Amino acid sequence: MTFDEMTQRIATGQGFIAALDQSGGSTPKALRGYGVEDSEWSGDDEMFAQIHAMRSRIIESPCFGNGKVIGAILFEKTMDGHSGGKPVPARLKERGIVPFLKVDKGLEDERDGAQLMKPNAGLEDLCHRARDLGVFGTKMRSVIKANNPVGIKNVVHQQFAEGARILSCGLMPILEPEYDITAADRAEGEQTMLAAIHEGLDALPDGQQIMLKLSIPKTAGLYTGLTSHPKVLRVVALSGGYSTDEACEHLARNPGMIASFSRGLLQDLRKGQSDDEFDSVLGKAIDQIAAASVA
Print burial letters for 94-111: b (CB count within 10 Å at least 16), e (below 16). Answer: ebbbbbbbbbbbeeeeee
User: In angstroms, how far apart are the furthest CA atoms of the chain?
Assistant: 53
Q: Which of 40, 213, 218, 284 is catalytic?
A: 213
Amino acid occupying residue 172: M
CA distance 79 to 87: 7
The number of helix segments (H) and strand segments (E) in the chain equals 12, 11
Is 176 marked active-site? yes
Long-range contacts of 271-278 (CB under 8 A, 24+ apart): 271/34, 271/35, 271/36, 271/54, 272/35, 278/57, 278/61
Q: CB burial class (10 A; 0-12, 13-18, 19+) of residue 218?
A: middle
CA dihedral over 223, 224, 229, 232, signed as positive or negative = positive
Taking the CB of residue 280, how many other CB atoms lie within 10 A of it? 14
The residue from 102, 176, 178, 231 that is catalytic is 176
Residue 110 identity: E
- As annotated, the active-site residues are 176, 213
